[in-house]
Amino acid sequence: MRIEQLGDGEPEIAVVGGIHGDEPCGVRAVEHLLEAAPEVKRPVKCIVANEEALAAETRYLDADLNRVFPGDPDSDAHEKRLAAELLTELKGCVSLSMHSTQSYTEPFAVIDENATFAKSVCPSLSLDAVVDASDFIDGRLIRHAEVLEIECGYQGSEQAAENAITLTEEFLTAVGALDGERSPTRELPLYRLTRLVPKEAADDYGVPATNFERVAAGETYASIDGEELVANEPFYPVLMSPYGYENEFGYAAELVGKLGSGRVESEAT
Ligand SMILES: [Zn+2]
């Protein structure tokens, strides 16, 4: 794990890239920040988490790091030891953690329903949406630390790296580490994941549905070897892609309201 610092003193703010070794966008953002070395008003801890997996250009070596928190310092598995180390480093910090997906080009946040900090910062960032993943975050960093987790864009894309750089600056401005105009607060649609959308073993998958766009009952949302899968009831696809996950297309979600101005407004779906 690479750990550097901007500014003097004990940091209460951290920026984390490279939780997954095949998602370079957050690493690019951390490196950009260290190279730019801006004058900070509060010290910032800059972390590249899984250097070993990054070097191997793979998501993880022994276990998916973002599924094994709080980890175990005595484990044989590299990522379980790393999870414990990372939690220790993030103790006392509010943090930004950057990921990327195979399903969506625009940035969105993934939060726990009790994440007061993450909810308060989201409306100051250039996000498309906020996803409450409360029922699906066992073992993930956001369940164990004050972390805002962002999916910055399509895995490996230049756009995801540029988004990560922008989001890092916006985050550091929002928490008072960087001088500058805080972006205007926006209202963001808030979705809640309700279930996994499974896929059977096959050779060929398709996802005609667009993430965050409502699928109506009777609409085709995916295909397996050319056979169309039709929705029984309406839902919002989230993190859905043909090949992003082994056993699922992604998730079905409901639109639960809007996040912004520090309050959640409910809205009929
Ligand atoms: Zn990731």
Whole-number pLDDT of residue 185: 81
Q: What is the pLDDT of residues 155-192, one digit of tens each?
A: 999 999 999 999 999 999 999 999 987 777 889 999 99
101 C-alpha vs ligand 1 centroid, how far in Å?
7
Give pLDDT tens digits for 98-151.
999 999 999 999 999 999 999 999 999 999 999 999 999 999 999 999 999 999
The neighbouring-strand residues paired with 73 are none
C-beta neighbour count of 105 within 10 angstroms: 15
- How far does residue 238's CA lie from ligand 1's centre (Å)? 15
Cα 232 to ligand 1 centre (Å)? 30
> Who's near 134: CB < 8 A, 6+ residues apart?
112, 113, 114, 192, 193
- Ion ligand 1 residue ranges (Cβ < 5 Å): 20, 23, 99
pLDDT band at 266 (very low <50, low <70, confident <90, very high): very low
Compute φ and ψ for 71, nearest 5 degrees: 75, -175
- For the chain, the average pLDDT equals 94
Residue 269 pLDDT > 50 = no
Residue that has been written with the tokens 């928190």 in this structure: 69
Residue 268 Cα to ligand 1 middle (Å): 31
User: 179: exposed, middle or buried (C-beta count within 10 Å: 0-12, 13-18, 19+)?
Assistant: exposed
* Residue 230 CB-half CA count within 13 A: 4
Give residue 30 CA to ligand 1 midpoint distance, Å.
15
Rounded to the nearest angstrom, the distance between the alpha carbon of 153 and the centre of ligand 1 is 11
Q: Tens digits of per-residue pLDDT, 225-245?
A: 999 999 999 999 999 999 988
pLDDT digits (tens, 9 = 90+) for 29-40: 999 999 999 999
Question: Cβ–Cβ contacts within 10 Å for residue 267, how many?
Answer: 11
Residue 71: DSSP 8-state: -
Asked whether the predicted pLDDT for residue 267 surpasses 90, the reply is no
Proportion of the chain in helix, strand, coil states, percent, rounded to 5: 25, 30, 45
Name the phi and psi angles at 130, rounded to 5. -125, 135
pTM of the model: 0.93
C-alpha of residue 140 to centroid of ligand 1, in Å: 10
Q: How far is the CA of 218 from the centre of ligand 1 (A)?
A: 32
